């Protein structure tokens, strides 16, 4: 048996620990591991290499992915999927592990329908927006990077009696901004999932400033497109000099945390074992739900839109009005 691994879509910390565990665990199970470079594009172009321990030695602490990644338009065309399948056949690879998001899973699900190549997906996105799993690989590292940046910006904001607006990633999902706002003690949190009232927030903050508040921390998800508006609001309505900091891709990189390394190891182990044990499954995703690892279908992952826990949303009520 031969199993290949690839990383697709946005990179995240935790991918390299997962790749290392994939190779190590395959060898322990007497399975030949293969590394597929450049995501779905590499699958099409045949950038495939038989893996050895030396390929993954010393990568567990690295952010990003040594396999590199891509977003492939060609994979949507049957002729290129056929080419990818033929490349796998040359190496005797009949099963795949893919680290990515729901778009990557859908792509391989079509690949399975076309050619019967079984796969297990590992949810890997810092947005934490995949339905069916409470946790996606890379989230803890991203949150810790945001926490460190927000704490640092707060220090200088307090020194100058300023407001600060911290923009996190999160195109359609405010998970990163919400959890960061809660854990960093922000005064304001603006995310797509919550309605907010700047009038009542402004009234509250002006009163606090009159009674000695030195700074204001506002965390905003990029998907709201409200960063500049919030700077203007803090300066003109609340009356505090304000600076904006857009964290950008710094949130995707960095040294993986202990938690992300552990999750990566467990995700990869379960994925390999599932592919070894079951010769008849279609595309599956290994998820972490209610403290347990389990497998769900691609149809289940795509059946609904991810929603943030109501408990977390409730904790933010004081930061939105």
Taking alpha carbons only, the member of 3, 276, 282, 293 closest to residue 137 is: 293
- Cβ partners under 8 Å of residue 61, min gap 6: 16, 255, 256
The verdict on whether 127 is a catalytic residue reads: yes
Task: State the DSSP H helix or E strand holding residue 155, giving kind and residue range, or none if neither.
Answer: helix 139-160
Interior/surface letters 277-298, b for 16+ CB within 10 angstroms, e for the rest: eeeebebbbbbbeeeeeebbbb
Widest pairwise Cα distance in the chain: 72
Q: Is 62 left (phi over 0), alpha (psi -120 to 50) or beta?
A: beta
Query: Which residue out of 24, 127, 140, 260 is catalytically annotated?
Result: 127
Distance of CA 247 to CAs 167, 199, 221, 231, Å?
6, 27, 11, 15
Would you give the end-to-end CA distance of the chain in angstroms? 58
Catalytic residue numbers, as ranges: 127
């Amino acid at each position: 048996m031969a199993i290949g691994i690839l990383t697709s879509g946005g990179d995240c910390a935790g991918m390299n620990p997962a790749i290392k565990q994939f190779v190590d665990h395959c060898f322990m199970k007497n399975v030949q591991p293969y590394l597929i470079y450049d995501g779905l594009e590499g699958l099409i172009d045949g950038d495939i290499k038989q893996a050895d321990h030396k390929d993954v030695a010393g990568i567990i602490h690295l952010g990003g992915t040594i396999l590199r990644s891509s977003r492939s338009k060609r994979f949507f065309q049957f002729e290129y999927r056929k080419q990818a399948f033929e490349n796998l056949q040359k190496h005797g690879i009949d099963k795949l592990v893919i680290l990515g998001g729901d778009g990557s899973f859908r792509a391989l699900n079509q690949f399975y329908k076309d050619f019967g190549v079984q796969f297990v997906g590992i949810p890997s996105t810092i947005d934490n927006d995949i339905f069916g799993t409470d946790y996606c690989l890379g989230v803890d590292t991203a949150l810790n990077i945001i926490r460190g940046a927000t704490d640092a910006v707060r220090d200088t904001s307090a020194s100058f009696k300023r407001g600060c607006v911290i923009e996190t990633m999160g195109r359609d999902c405010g998970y990163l901004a919400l959890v960061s706002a809660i854990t960093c003690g922000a005064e304001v949190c603006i995310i797509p999932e919550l309605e907010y009232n700047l009038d009542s927030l402004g009234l509250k903050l002006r009163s606090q400033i009159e009674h000695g508040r030195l700074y204001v921390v506002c965390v905003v998800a990029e998907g709201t497109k409200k960063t500049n508006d919030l700077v203007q609001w803090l300066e003109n309505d609340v009356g505090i000099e304000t600076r904006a900091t857009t964290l950008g891709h710094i949130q995707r990189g960095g040294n993986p945390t202990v938690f992300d390394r552990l999750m990566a190891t467990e995700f990869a182990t379960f994925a390999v074992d599932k592919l070894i044990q079951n010769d008849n499954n279609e595309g599956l995703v290994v998820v972490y739900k209610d403290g347990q690892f389990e497998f769900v279908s691609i149809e289940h992952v795509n059946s609904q839109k991810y929603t943030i826990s109501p408990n977390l949303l409730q904790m933010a009520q004081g930061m939105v009005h």
